[in-house]
Amino acid sequence: SQQGEEDPQALSIQEGENATMNCSYKTSINNLQWYRQNSGRGLVHLILIRSNEREKHSGRLRVTLDTSKKSSSLLITASRAADTASYFCATDASGNNRLAFGKGNQVVVIP
């Protein structure tokens, strides 16, 4: 399956700490995306990283991509209670014209 798999599936941290989650996938990709879902809401796109990129930043978010290991990581620095959410990675297999979403990481930031 091309579906990305996030790890850990659940993470609980104190406000101010950094949160790191990983995503692994099986086949080559054109891009990998991270989304956030707050409870009861739709998914919100956070960042897209293309297969020829190794790292990307957006505010307190840092995404890395290692295509040799078929894995990506999402780092949230200086976490806030508002970062409590589920985080999904989504991949597109090269030649497969759609995204496949993982099952998500649940992150709880304790104030």
Partner 1 sequence: DARVTQTPRHKVTEMGQEVTMRCQPILGHNTVFWYRQTMMQGLELLAYFRNRAPLDDSGMPKDRFSAEMPDATLATLKIQPSEPRDSAVYFCASGPGLAETQYFGPGTRLLVL
For partner 1, the closer of residues 54 and 103 by Cβ is 103
**Least distance in Å: CB of 48 to partner 1?**
6
Which residues contribute to the site for partner 1 (CB under 8 A)? 30-31, 33, 35, 41-45, 48, 88, 90, 92, 96-104
For partner 1, the closer of residues 18 and 94 by Cβ is 94
For partner 1, the closer of residues 78 and 82 by Cβ is 82
Residue 81 per-residue DSSP state? G
d(CA 65, CA 63): 7
Q: Which of 8, 13, 15 is nearest to 87 (CA)?
A: 8
Q: What angle do CA 82, 21, 6 make, to 5 degrees?
A: 110
